[in-house]
Homo-oligomer: A and B are copies of this chain.
Amino acid sequence: MRALIPYKKENAKSRLSPVMGLEEREEFVELMLRDVVNTLCESEIEAIDILTPSEKGVAEDIKANIVISELGLNDAINEYLKVTTEPVLIIMADLPLVKSHHIQEITSNDRDIVIAPGKGGGTNILFINDPSNFHVKYHGSSFLTHCQIAKDRSHTLHIYDSFMTGTDIDEPQDLVEIIIHGQGFSKDYIENKFGTQLTKGRVKLCSIA
C-alpha cells in the first residue's frame, strides 16, 4: 500500500496571502507536509511518494520518494495511477489535523473507494484499492465528481466522515482550527504568529501584536 502526496511549495497557498507573506506560506506548507508525512510514517503505509513539479521543492530530510511531474495535478496523478499496481491513498499536503488512526480506518475499509470530503466540495483523502480502474478529477466539486466516477465504474464507495480529515487549510479562518485542534510543526508555527479572538460567532484569527 502506497501513499501519494501532491505537493507544490512554490507560491503555495495563495489564498492565505491576506495573512501570510510568500516566504511564510512556503515555510508553512513545508511544515504541514512534514506533519502529514509523520502521520503516514506512524500508520501502516509502506511507501510514501511525494508528487511535485520540481525536486528542489522538497527538503532532503523528508522521508519519502520524490516523483517529479510537470503535468497538471490531475494528469500527473492519473499517470501515476496507471503505473501503480497496489492500493493507493492520495492525501493532500494541507491536512495537519490528520492522525494515524484516521489513515488506519480509511485503509482498512473494505470498499473499493474511500473518500474523505473537505470543505466546499473538496476531496481531502482518496483511497483507491485498484488504481488501474480509477481516475481522478480534482478542482471544482471534486467530492461529487469522485463519487460519480466510483458509481460509473461500479465501485463500492465509503464516505469517511471526519472533522479532522475534513479540515484542509486553505483560507485564513482555517488556521483557527490548527490552534484549537492541531498538533506538531504546523501548530507550533501558527501559534507563534497568530492568536484567536472571541466573537459572538466563531472564534476568529488575530495577529499577535
Query: How many copies of this chain does one complex carry?
Result: 2
20 pairs from A and B in contact (CB 8 Å cutoff): A117-B163, A120-B177, A120-B202, A120-B204, A121-B180, A121-B196, A121-B202, A121-B203, A122-B202, A139-B198, A140-B203, A141-B180, A141-B196, A143-B180, A161-B163, A161-B164, A163-B163, A163-B165, A163-B166, A170-B202
Given known contacts A117-B180, A161-B163, what 17 new A-B pairs fall within 8 Å (CB)? A116-B163, A117-B181, A118-B202, A120-B176, A120-B201, A120-B204, A121-B176, A121-B203, A140-B203, A141-B180, A141-B198, A144-B180, A161-B162, A162-B162, A162-B163, A163-B163, A171-B202
A119 at the interface (CB under 8 A from B): yes
Contact digits for A155-175, partner B, Cβ 8 Å, 1 yes 0 no: 000000111111000110100
Chain A interface size band reads: 20 to 34
Q: Say yes or no: is A56 at the interface (Cβ < 8 Å to chain B).
A: no
| A171, B140: Cα distance in complex, Å | 20
Tell me, yes or no, whether A153 is within 8 Å of chain B by CB: no
A78: min CB distance to chain B, Å: 20
Tell me the minimal C-beta distance from A187 to chain B in angstroms. Answer: 14
Asked if A15 is at the interface of the complex by the 8 Å CB criterion, the answer is yes
Q: Flag if B173 contacts A120 (CB, 8 Å).
A: yes
Enumerate chain B residues within 8 angstroms of A198, measured Cβ to Cβ.
139-141
CB pair B141–A177 under 8 Å, yes or no, is no
List B contacts of A144 (CB < 8 A).
180
Q: How far is the CA of A198 from the CA of B141 in the complex (A)?
A: 7
Chain B nearest CB: distance from A123 CB in Å? 12
CA distance A200 to B138 in the complex (A): 10
Measured CB to CB, the closest approach of chain B to A17, in angstroms, equals 12
Between A164, A177, A202, the greatest number of chain B beta carbons within 10 A of the residue's beta carbon is seen for A202
